[in-house]
């Protein structure tokens, strides 16, 4: 599929590279809280490419749609428009290959020391879809290459910041419920004891029941996929009353959250992602 312009000819590779680079520059500024005028940047692209204002806006929305599938934040105001042109996906791939830092855009390491943060608002989880939507093979290949679930799982800074956010949220929630005694007992298990427990935060209900919170964080959208370890899955089966999976998303801006309770298979589709190889036994 060509990178067709709704108003005329196909976009050249040079034009695509220009608009993709400009999009990521604007996205970086937006996430850093820097101001810029979209109309001015659009006008500059018009000068460089000869394309119309509307054509450039449409292409920005196409880029947003690809970033949505890659589990990356997109520019507010450029609502994803799923018109997946292979030439545009190739342009995004060239930029991500050349600038690996773009895959971690909006994620900064946690600041030294701990600071108070208010309780999170937990929204209802997304509804489990009956089937995955049909998508172009080129898009599926791009998503496999830049696997958003694997990228988030490897990003220790992102994971630690998400766990920290939930840790403080639990403190604030219990304190607001008049259970300062329980708030003092909340533990950041993954930091204090290391990975392996099958959960990250030990917390409590207002009634004093234990809650084992496994935190999964992404800068992407609500339905960005994530990895669940076998240890985490087994804990959800063994202790369904206590286990909760906390999903944080849109973390580069204002973190949003929802919770999943066991059985997890009622909320997400679980598929084997790796195999354990042994030499017998």
68 and 153 in a single domain? The answer is no
For 201-235, the pLDDT digits (tens) are 999 999 999 999 999 999 999 999 999 999 999 99
Q: What is the mean pLDDT of the chain?
A: 91
**pLDDT tens readout for residues 259-269:** 999 999 999 99
67-85 pLDDT, tens per residue?
999 999 999 899 999 888 9
Q: Look up the domain containing 50 and give its range.
A: 13-104
Please report which confidence band the pLDDT of residue 1 belongs to, taking 50, 70 and 90 as the band edges: very low
Structurally, the chain folds into a number of domains equal to: 2
Whether the pLDDT of residue 278 is over 90: the answer is: no
In a domain, 228, yes or no: yes
DSSP calls for 131-183: SPPP--HHHHHHHHHT-HHHHHHH-HHHHHHHHHHHHHHHHHHHHHTT-HHHH
- Is residue 208 domain-resident? yes
pLDDT in the model for residue 7: 54
pLDDT of residue 271: 86
Q: Is the domain of 148 the same as that of 55?
A: no
Residues 254 and 151 occupy one common structural domain: yes
- Provide the pLDDT confidence category of residue 8 given band limits of 50, 70 and 90: low
**Rounded mean pLDDT, 197-203:** 97
pTM for this predicted structure: 0.87
Percent of the chain with pLDDT over 70: 93
Residue 111 covered by a domain: no
What are the contacts of 138-141 at 24+ separation with CB within 8 A? 138/1, 138/84, 138/86, 138/89, 138/90, 139/66, 139/69, 139/84, 139/89
């Amino acid at each position: 599929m060509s990178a067709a312009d709704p108003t005329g000819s196909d976009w050249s590779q040079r034009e695509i590279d220009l608009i993709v680079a400009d999009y990521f520059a604007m996205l970086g500024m937006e996430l850093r809280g820097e101001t810029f005028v979209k109309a001015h940047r659009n006008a500059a692209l018009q000068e460089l490419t000869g394309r119309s204002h509307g054509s450039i806006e449409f292409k920005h929305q196409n880029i947003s749609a690809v970033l949505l599938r890659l589990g990356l934040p997109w520019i507010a105001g450029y609502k994803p428009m799923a018109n997946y042109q292979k030439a545009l996906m190739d342009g995004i791939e060239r930029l991500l290959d050349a600038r690996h830092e773009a895959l971690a855009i909006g994620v900064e390491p946690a600041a030294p020391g701990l600071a108070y943060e208010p309780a999170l608002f937990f929204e209802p989880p997304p509804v489990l879809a009956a089937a995955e939507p049909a998508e172009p093979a080129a898009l599926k290949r791009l998503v496999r290459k830049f696997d958003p679930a694997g990228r988030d799982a490897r990003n220790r800074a992102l994971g630690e910041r998400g766990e920290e956010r939930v840790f403080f949220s639990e403190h604030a929630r219990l304190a607001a419920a008049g259970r300062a005694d329980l708030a003092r007992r909340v533990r950041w298990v993954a930091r204090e004891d290391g990975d392996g427990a099958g959960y990250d935060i030990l917390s409590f209900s207002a009634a004093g029941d234990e809650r084992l919170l496994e935190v999964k964080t992404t800068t992407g959208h609500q339905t960005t996929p994530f990895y669940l370890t076998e240890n985490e899955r087994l804990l959800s089966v063994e202790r369904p009353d206590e286990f909760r999976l906390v999903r944080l998303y849109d973390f580069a801006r204002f973190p949003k959250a929802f919770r999943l309770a066991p059985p997890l298979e009622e909320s997400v589709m679980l598929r084997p992602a790796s195999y354990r190889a042994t030499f017998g036994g």
